Amino acid sequence: MSKLRVHAFAISLDGFGAGSNQGIDAPLGEQGTLLHEWVFKTRTFRQMQGLDGGETGVDDDFTAKGFENIGATIMGRNMFGPIRGDWPDDKWRGWWGSSPPYHHPVFVLTKHPRDSFEMEGGTTFHFVTDGIVAALDRARDAAGDQDIRLGGGVSTVQQYMRAGLVDWAHFAITPVLLGEGERLWQGADITALYECTGWVASPTVTHAVLTRRG
């Protein structure tokens, strides 16, 4: 069976996965981009942007792993865009332009129905209104023998980890203090479900790997 994996999910030293006041001008909240500066420098990220160069090493190794053997993605509505409530129309089609970087089916968790649509490069967005298990079942069907990547936001990762549905998770702990925002582990007791199986530091971040027990 395909595995559900979290990759390169950055959190601050004080545990926030996003800053406060998220919106169209600040998708990750105030100072939220500081959490991801480490990945912007990697060779893998730069190649995705059509750029040359970039740093290799442990940060790049973790970044590259997030694209290996992935056949579908699940994300929350906050990661898909800034619109809340009912969809006013079908104009918003994600943050990524006409050719999103996924190139496979993406399942967006939402309470508000919307028709699926296909983008350039093989990405199709589907909107799932009947919960996290239903989204995972659909993603598994779409992924076939490949694995599924679980994207953000914070609430989405919390829900799947609390339910014990994540098989493997990589968190990048960054040397940044946000002070407020969305705290990843707020009220989430996962100690009986997961164990730390990897802890590697680079000059910019510390990589923590959690694996589901059993």
- Residue with tokens 């395909």, as numbered in its chain: 2
The model's pLDDT over 91-149, given as tens digits with 9 standing for 90+, comes to 999 999 999 999 999 999 999 999 999 999 999 999 999 999 999 999 999 999 999 99
Structure tokens belonging to residue 106: 């993406």
Q: Which CATH class is domain 4-82+100-212?
A: alpha beta
Q: Could you tell me if 158 and 165 are in contact, meaning their C-beta atoms sit under 8 angstroms apart?
A: no
* pLDDT attached to residue 194: 96
The model's pLDDT over 14-55, given as tens digits with 9 standing for 90+, comes to 999 999 888 888 888 899 999 999 999 999 999 988 889 999
Longest CA–CA separation in the chain, Å? 45
pLDDT band at 185 (very low <50, low <70, confident <90, very high): confident
Torsion over CA: 19, 194, 131, 122 (sign): positive
The 3-state DSSP class for residue 133 equals helix
Other beta carbons within 10 angstroms of residue 200's beta carbon come to 13
